[in-house]
C-alpha cells in the first residue's frame, strides 16, 4: 500500500489575479476550534460578519451575507434568483466575466441583449442607454465593475444611473473591486452584487460575499416560478442567515472559513475602507514605475485602469510561459497569464489585499527584471 504524508505547500508570493496572499492573522483564525453551524456563539459571529460586510459594501441591505460557495456561485445566485424564463436582461461585455454573466442569464431562460466593447476598454454608457431605449421592457442590467481578465474598471455609478432611469434592476460583479477601489452599493443604487473572498479581502478562497437591495428582495418574493437552484434560493437561505438567534437549518456552513472572513473584515475595518483603496492606488503607482524601468508598458488606459489588477503588455519576442514558469520555479512568485483574446499578449499582476505592499512590489520588479535580462 502506498504511504502518504501531510501536504506542506511552498511559501509563494501570490501576485496573480487571485487568490492573493493571506495574512497570518487570517490563517490563525482559520485554525480555531470548529463550532456547530447552529451554535449560538457561531450565530453571533454570523451577525457580526454580516455587519462587517455591510461596511465593506457601503450598504444597509438586510440581505447581505457570505454565500457558502466561491464567487462564480455568487454570480449564479444573482441570475437564478432575479430572472425568470422570458425576462429580458442587458449584459455588458468587455472581458471574460461579462461573458460568464451572459451564460448564466441564458441558462435561466432569459432573453439576453449583449453590449460588446473591445477587451481592454470600458463599457460605453451611451451604448447602454441606446440599448435600453430599443428595449424598454428590460428587467435588469448586468455588468462587471472590475474586469479581472483585462484590468479595466467600468463606470459602475454611471451605468447604474442609466439603468435606474429605465427602472431596471442592476446586477454587479464586484469580485475584484470590493475593498480595492471605490464601491458604494446604496449610493449607486446597486440591487444585487457579489464578490469573492480571495481577492482584495485577502481571505481564503471559497466564499462569495453578496448583497440584495429591498427592491431585489421583493422581486425574488414575487417570482411566478421557483428559483431554479435549491441551494442558491435566497428564500431558503435567508432563514439561516436571517435575524435573531433562531435560525432554520439550510446547509452546514463552512464554519472555519467564516472565521477567516470575519478576521479579514476586522482587518479591513481597522485599516479603514478608504485607506485600503488608497493603499491599492499607491502601490499601483509604485509597480507602474518599476515596470516602466524595465521597459514594460501597461495595457489599459490610465483613466480606467485597475490598481489591484495590472495588465502588462508582453514585449515582442518574449516567451510568456517561460517567464511565468521561471518566476514560479526560481523565485516562488506567481503572476497571471492573459485570458481569452489577451492570452499570450499580457501578464496580469495582482496587487490585492495583504499582497498589496511595497515589499511584494519590489520583489516582483527585481525578479521579473532578472528573468527578462536572462
Q: pLDDT tens, position by position, for the chain (374 residues)? A: 899 999 999 999 999 999 999 999 999 999 999 999 999 999 999 999 999 999 999 999 999 999 999 999 999 999 999 999 999 999 999 999 999 999 999 999 999 999 999 999 999 999 999 999 999 999 999 999 999 999 999 999 999 999 999 999 999 999 999 999 999 999 999 999 999 999 999 999 999 999 999 999 999 999 999 999 999 999 999 999 987 667 899 999 999 999 999 999 999 999 999 999 999 999 999 999 999 999 999 999 999 999 999 999 999 999 999 999 999 999 999 999 999 999 999 999 999 999 999 999 999 999 999 999 98
Q: Look at the block and give the residue holding cell 437549518.
A: 249
With a CB cutoff of 8 Å and minimum separation 6, the contacts of 61 are 54, 185, 186, 211, 212, 213, 214
Indicate whether 327 and 185 sit together in one domain. no
Query: How far, CA to CA in Å, does 70 sit from each of 204, 208, 247, 289?
Result: 10, 5, 23, 34
Q: Look up the CATH number of the domain holding residue 149.
A: 3.40.640.10
What domain range includes position 319? 13-18+272-373
Report if residue 3 sits inside a domain: no
Give how many domains the chain has, as a whole number: 2
Q: Which residue has the cell 496587487?
A: 351
* In a domain? residue 71: yes
For residues 103 and 237, state if they share a domain. Answer: yes
Tell me the residue ranges of DSSP E strands in 213-317: 309-313
**pTM for this model (two decimals):** 0.97
How far is residue 150's CA from residue 100's CA, in Å, rounded to a whole number?
Answer: 14
Q: Are residues 277 and 201 in the same domain?
A: no
263: cell is 478576521
Amino acid at each position: 500500500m502506498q504511504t502518504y504524508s501531510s501536504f506542506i505547500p511552498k511559501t509563494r508570493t501570490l501576485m496573480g489575479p487571485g487568490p492573493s496572499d493571506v495574512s497570518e492573522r487570517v490563517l490563525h483564525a482559520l485554525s480555531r476550534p470548529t463550532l456547530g453551524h447552529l451554535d449560538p456563539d457561531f450565530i453571533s459571529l454570523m451577525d457580526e460578519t454580516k455587519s462587517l460586510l455591510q461596511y465593506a459594501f457601503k450598504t444597509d441591505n438586510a440581505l447581505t451575507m457570505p454565500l457558502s460557495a466561491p464567487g462564480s456561485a455568487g454570480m449564479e445566485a444573482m441570475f437564478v434568483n432575479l430572472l425568470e424564463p422570458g425576462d429580458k436582461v442587458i449584459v455588458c461585455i468587455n472581458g471574460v466575466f461579462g461573458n460568464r454573466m451572459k451564460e448564466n442569464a441564458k441558462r435561466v431562460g432569459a432573453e439576453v441583449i449583449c453590449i460588446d466593447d473591445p477587451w481592454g476598454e470600458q463599457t460605453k454608457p451611451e451604448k447602454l442607454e441606446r440599448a435600453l431605449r430599443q428595449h424598454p421592457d428590460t428587467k435588469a442590467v448586468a455588468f462587471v465593475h472590475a474586469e479581472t481578465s483585462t484590468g479595466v474598471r467600468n463606470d459602475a455609478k454611471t451605468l447604474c444611473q442609466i439603468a435606474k432611469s429605465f427602472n431596471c434592476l442592476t446586477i454587479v460583479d464586484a469580485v475584484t473591486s470590493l475593498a480595492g477601489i471605490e464601491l458604494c452599493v446604496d449610493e449607486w443604487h446597486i440591487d444585487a452584487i457579489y464578490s469573492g473572498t480571495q481577492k482584495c479581502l485577502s481571505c481564503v478562497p471559497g466564499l462569495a460575499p453578496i448583497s440584495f437591495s429591498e427592491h431585489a428582495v421583493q422581486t425574488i418574493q414575487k417570482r411566478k416560478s421557483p428559483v431554479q437552484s435549491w441551494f442558491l434560493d435566497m428564500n431558503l437561505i435567508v432563514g439561516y442567515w436571517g435575524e435573531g438567534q433562531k435560525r432554520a437549518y439550510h446547509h452546514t456552513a463552512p464554519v472555519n472559513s467564516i472565521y477567516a472572513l470575519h478576521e479579514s473584515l476586522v482587518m479591513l475595518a481597522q485599516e479603514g475602507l478608504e485607506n485600503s483603496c488608497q493603499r491599492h492606488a499607491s502601490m499601483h503607482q509604485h509597480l507602474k514605475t518599476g515596470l516602466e524601468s524595465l521597459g514594460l508598458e501597461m495595457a489599459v488606459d490610465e483613466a480606467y485602469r485597475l490598481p489591484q489588477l495590472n495588465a502588462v503588455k508582453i514585449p515582442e519576442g518574449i516567451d510568456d510561459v517561460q517567464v511565468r514558469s521561471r518566476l514560479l520555479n526560481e523565485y516562488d512568485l506567481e503572476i497571471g497569464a492573459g485570458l481569452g483574446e489577451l492570452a499570450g499578449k499580457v501578464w496580469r499582476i495582482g496587487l490585492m489585499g495583504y499582497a498589496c505592499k511595497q515589499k511584494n512590489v519590489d520583489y516582483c520588479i527585481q525578479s521579473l527584471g532578472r528573468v527578462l535580462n536572462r
